[in-house]
Structure 1
Amino acid sequence: MSGFIISSWNFSEGKAKPNALNASPIAADNWYHCQRDAIGLRDWLEENAIPEAIIDSLLTDDTRPRFEQFHDECFLMILRGINLNEGSAPDDMLSLRILWFKGAIISTRKVPTAAVSILIERLEKGIGPHTLPKLLVGIANGINGIISDFLSPVEDRIDDLEDEDAADLKTLNALNSRLLRLRRYLKPQRYVFEDLLHADMPVLKGQKNHFKNCLDTIARMNESIEFYIDQINLYQANVNQQQAEVMNRNTYLFSVIAGIFLPAGFFTGLLGVNIGGIPGVENPMAFPLFCVALLVVVALEVVILKRLRFI
């Protein structure tokens, strides 16, 4: 038993049968699902005459989704899927590399992929795909289905924005950031299926329509993500505009109040210098008359500001 082969299946008889998990030579109509960072995997790939450049692409740590055709019997697909592992963020998308090499499929992962795990469970129950091309379609559909399920509650959350007076901006910012990270990988994932269909691989000719459906699904999800991001940005812009309007209105109100009481402050400051010559010092009616005068000044200011439509 090898330490790098997680699961292996033989499709040569028109039905998937499990293989022994040993480092046997790669044979056509077989699927080898491997742990990418396990010791011995690179040596096994080299022993099976896989070119060094292809091995590097299959085992590299960080890469974007892409499709590479090396010849009619060899191509590489790199896909990204939602990370449903415990303790991981779903938008921290995991990578699945799939190599078609001389009629066999070698796939590698670093952390478990839900789409592949579900597919293996179906194979164990005898209800999974029966050929390698259908297996490839099943993996692609599984990845797309999980992404679509992840986006469904996001759509509901976006729809709720129209019915809410105030949403949690912190939650919306986190959601927006998550959608931006998803978009980063789903956009090039669309090109994977476009390039696959354009390559017109003879071994996948019977599954062409299925891959077209995968492409349509990816395109729809990309459009949905763009729409969600635009809706969140629009909602945040409206909230910011409302807050700016409230601030401007309050600032304007305080400016008007300050302007109204500016003459009163001037006169009270002038009469409070405590030096000789201040009128009314000896008159007991001076203070009441002064207060009445200030009220008259304030009233005149209010009338003038209203006619000038400042208030």
Structure 2
Amino acid sequence: MARFFIHDGTSARELDVEAFCTLSPPPRFSWVHMDGRTDDVAKTEARIATIPDAARSAMMASETRPRCTIFADGALVNLRGLGEQLANDGDPLVSIRLWAEKGRVVSLSYRRLDILNAVIEEMLSGRLADPGDLITAVAIHITDALDPVIADLGDALDNIESHLDEEGAVSTRRHVAKIRAAAISFRRFIAPQRAAMERLMTAQVSWLEADDRLHVQEAADRCARMAEELEAVRERSALAHEALTDLRAEHMNRQALLLAIVALIFLPLTFLTGLLGMNVNGIPYAHEPWAFWGVIAVCTIIAGAIGAWFAVTNWLQR
């Protein structure tokens, strides 16, 4: 459900919708956060704020990408952070849409955002006293949460690269493919998020103070670093996948070579035993008591000679 917060210049508190709508005079700073899954967003927005039609449509869109659009002295800022994952939604990051103007922020999300409770705690503690404080808090909390997740992708790939071998190549290839897919999914939102923060940092709006711009710049720089790390993970994953594929092909070739050597050893023996096993008269020594052991000895000598030849010519090491 929608939550309503105000800061009167000295302290902050949370109100219900009726108390919020009847406040007089208006508070120094207010923040309304709506949950698109449970709130009647259009009705709530009509009661609490006057947002430009274009910004309202963008806020309520089902699909969003990180962006920052300036409307006179207001700004629409869409950001993405870690949050609730749905089975029917493949996006790894949850969007939060914020309309900011002097003295007021209206935000909307359709899935639970992990950093929301931390931002609310800062608001109620009185540390967020204007729209710039709130937006920079959201941006910094998002980058703080994303940083270790992206670092873990790189660490997992480091571990795979340091233990590349033929054992478990199939399962390792699957792990590498998952890491690469995650890196691509994250980078799809991290790169435009950096551009959105940089645009906000340079926005000519009265409510964004100098220290807010510095904090937004810091968040943008961290997004740039994460985007570079994700690009590196994507490229390294492709190389690791190719290396594992080559190892698997080499292993299969070695097994095929071994089977070929065994087949070549037994090929003349099969011919000899097949020839002597024909049910016709005239086979030499067919009635001699030592004939069976003689055939065994000849087969052993032939197999040993062929095996020795393979060993001398280094076929087993190819």
Match of 1:227 in 2: 232
Match of 1:133, as an amino acid? G
Q: Give the whole-Å Cα distance in 2 for the aligned partners of 1:114 and 1:300.
A: 71
Whether the aligned pair in 2 keeps the contact of 1:84 and 1:90 (CA below 8 Å) is no
Partner of residue 186 from structure 1, selected from 190, 195, 202: 190
Q: Does 1:247 align with 2:252?
A: yes
Q: 2:17 aligns with which of 8, 15, 21?
A: 21
Write the deviation string for residues 225-277 of structure 1: whole angstroms up to 9, x where unpaired.
33334444444444443333222212111101111111111111122121123
- Out of 42-51 and 241-250, give the one that drifted further: 42-51
Range moving further from structure 2, 147-156 or 274-283: 147-156
Q: In 1, Cα distance between the equivalents of 2:304 and 2:85?
A: 71
* Gaps in structure 2 of 5+ consecutive residues: none
- Hey, what does 1:78 align to over in structure 2? 78
Q: Deviations over 1:120-164 (max 9, x none)?
A: 1122233x2222212211111111111124345445444444665
1:57-68 pair list within 5 angstroms:
57-68=58-69
1:263 maps to 2:268: yes
What is the Cα deviation at residue 32 of structure 1?
A: 1.8
Q: How many percent identity over aligned positions?
A: 23
| 1:14, distance to aligned residue in structure 2 (A) | 6.7
- Give the root-mean-square deviation of aligned CA atoms: 3.5
Aligned length: 305
- Separation of aligned partners in 2, 1:198 and 1:122: 25
d(CA) in 2 for partners of 1:33, 1:110: 11
Asked if structure 2 preserves the Cα contact closer than 8 Å seen for 1:72 and 1:202, the reply is: no
Q: Give the equivalent residue in structure 2 for 1:96.
A: 96
Q: Report the Cα distance in structure 2 between the residues aligned to 1:17 and 1:286, rounded to whole angstroms.
A: 105
- Give the deviation of 1:76 after TM superposition: 1.0
SS at match of 1:180: helix
Against the structure 1 CA distance between its residues 49 and 133, is the aligned structure 2 distance closer, same or farther, given a 3 Å change threshold? Answer: closer
Normalising by structure 2, what TM-score?
Answer: 0.79
SS at match of 1:281: coil
Moved more, 32-41 or 206-215: 32-41
Structure 2 counterpart of 1:56: 57
| Mapped partners of 2:298, 2:11: distance in 1 | 103
Cα distance in 1 for residues equivalent to 2:5 and 2:90: 27
1:83 Cα offset (Å): 1.1
- Shift, 1:108, TM fit: 0.9
Indicate the larger mover: 287-296 or 212-221. 287-296
CA distance in 1, matches of 2:86, 2:148: 17
Q: Residue 112 of structure 2 corresponds to which residue in structure 1?
A: 112
In the TM superposition, what is the alpha-carbon distance from 1:105 to its structure 2 partner? Answer: 1.4
- Corresponding position of 2:2: 5
Aligned partner of 2:132 in structure 1 is 133
Structure 1 pair 61–210 and aligned structure 2 pair: CA distance change class (3 A):
same
